[in-house]
Amino acid sequence: MQSFSLAKKLPFSKHPLKTSFSRLIPNLSKNVCFKNQKNVFHDYNFGLTCYNLKRYSQSIGTSSIEQQYINRYWRSVFKGETEKIPKHKLKVIQTEDEMREMIDRIVSQHKIQSALGKYETVHTVRSLEDIKRRLGPERRCFGFFHKNAPLEPLVFVWVALTKGISKSIQGILEDDSLNVHDEAHTANTAIFYSINSQTGVSGVDLGNFLIKRVVSVLQNELPNIETFCTLSPLPNFASWVNKWLTPEIRKNPDLEISKEEENGILSLEPNETVWTEALKKILDARGWISNEEKRDILKPVLLKLATRYVLKEKKPNSIYAYDPVTNFHLRNGASVQSLNWLGDTSYNGVRTSYGIMCNYNYILANIESNNFSYLKRGEIAVSMTGLDPSFNDGIRYVQA
């Protein structure tokens, strides 16, 4: 579906980007529904086995609606659109209505899952296994869907339920060791690790509504969840470093790079005499991510640059954060919790963020005050510890 065609179906206004915030709220409540997406193999365990489906089909007419639903299910299995339901996971259906509902929900859910993979822009979905892993019992996906496009999410967020705040996206996307029965009930932290929206609704602040709704739902479903935190990329960090890090910037008093750190960078590029140019050459080569010696030398320098990027850099002629993801979460009332070295070692993570990720903490007691201070004065709420005093200007510390 083209983004502009989806925008045309939204009854918000003829020009959604120019519509006032107050006018959107009534339309949102009438036309946008909320869905909590889980894996079909865990959510629909009341249904039917393939064996019972076959047996049941023999007792009804071939032209009936029920037979059409049965054929629809088997076509989706043969095409590889959905997997055959394991016999040991499902029980015998009792009525025709149960069978019709079960098959319809299976096929519809597959279409929703395909749409989630299609519109995922932060962490690429590579296969059906990725989808299954991201929708396991210790994982969630929440989204808003418009009534005119019930299988196309307007905005959706992936959530991982963990013990403690996650520092690495690899641990979330690739970890298969979690206990599928107990993890969700023993976790104390909800990690929002990817939020995506349709291009056609980019001017509507649905992401803010969605995160607040998800927090409410998780609090009711899992009272043991006490911390709501993101694991977010710094999508413009690499491009900012290349533009901002010039030889003249070495004289900037805010740039706390020690002589030892400068010499370490120059030792990796003997032909360069200026450490800023040596650093950019090393980063452009990209092979540093697999070299432990280079990683150890670059770590303190890149983390200092990332701290400045998140806390100090502003949009032109603005009091708000330069990074779009940072600005989004700060506007929603989050605080900067920590910067994580090698948080995303994927190709795209290294290319755009040099592998650094950021935790933004939604401390429920401070959301309103954080939001007001940021929108009014551009003050950034910080819940991280060990921050260099040179960054104290323009930030406010909050208790995590």
Based on the residue annotation, tell me whether 329 is a catalytic residue of this protein.
yes
State how far the Cα of 387 lies from the Cα of 400, in Å rounded to an integer: 14
Residue type, 290: S
Give the Cα separation of 170 and 151 in Å (integer).
29
> Based on the domain organization, do 151 and 270 belong to the same domain?
no
The CATH code of the domain that includes 324 is 3.40.630.150
Does 29 qualify as catalytic in the annotation? no
* Residue of 110, 197, 329, 335 with catalytic role: 329
User: Letter for the amino acid at 233?
Assistant: P
DSSP 281-335: HHHHH-GGGG-HHHHHHHHHHHHHHHHHHHHT-B-TT-SSBSSHHHHHHHHTT-E
Mean pLDDT score across all residues of the chain: 77
Do 365 and 285 have their domain in common? yes
Q: For residues 241 and 234, give the distance between their C-alpha atoms in angstroms, rounded to a whole number.
A: 12
Tens-place pLDDT, residues 93-138: 566 666 666 666 666 777 777 888 888 989 988 877 788 788 877 8
Contact between residue 21 and residue 209 where contact means Cβ atoms under 8 Å apart: no
Evaluate whether residue 125 is within a structural domain. Answer: no
Residue 211 lies in a domain: yes
> Tens digit of pLDDT for each residue in 299-348?
999 999 999 999 999 999 999 999 999 999 999 999 999 999 999 999 99
Same domain, 193 and 334: no
Predicted pLDDT of residue 218 = 92
Number of domains in the chain: 3
Q: Are residues 60 and 151 in the same domain?
A: no
Task: Specify the pTM.
Answer: 0.76
**Containing structural domain, residue 273:** 237-397
- Whether residue 318 sits in one domain with residue 210: no
Does 298 fall in a domain?
Answer: yes
Examine residue 113 and state whether it is found in any structural domain, yes or no. no
pLDDT at 243 over 80: yes
Share of the chain above pLDDT 70, in %: 68
287 and 208 in one domain? no
CB 37 within 8 A of CB 108: no
pLDDT band at 393 (very low <50, low <70, confident <90, very high): confident
Catalytic residue of the set 168, 232, 338, 383: 232
Q: Is residue 115 part of a domain?
A: no
Same domain, yes or no, for 225 and 245?
A: no
- Residue 279 falls inside a structural domain: yes
> Could you say which of 207, 230, 253 is where a domain stops?
230
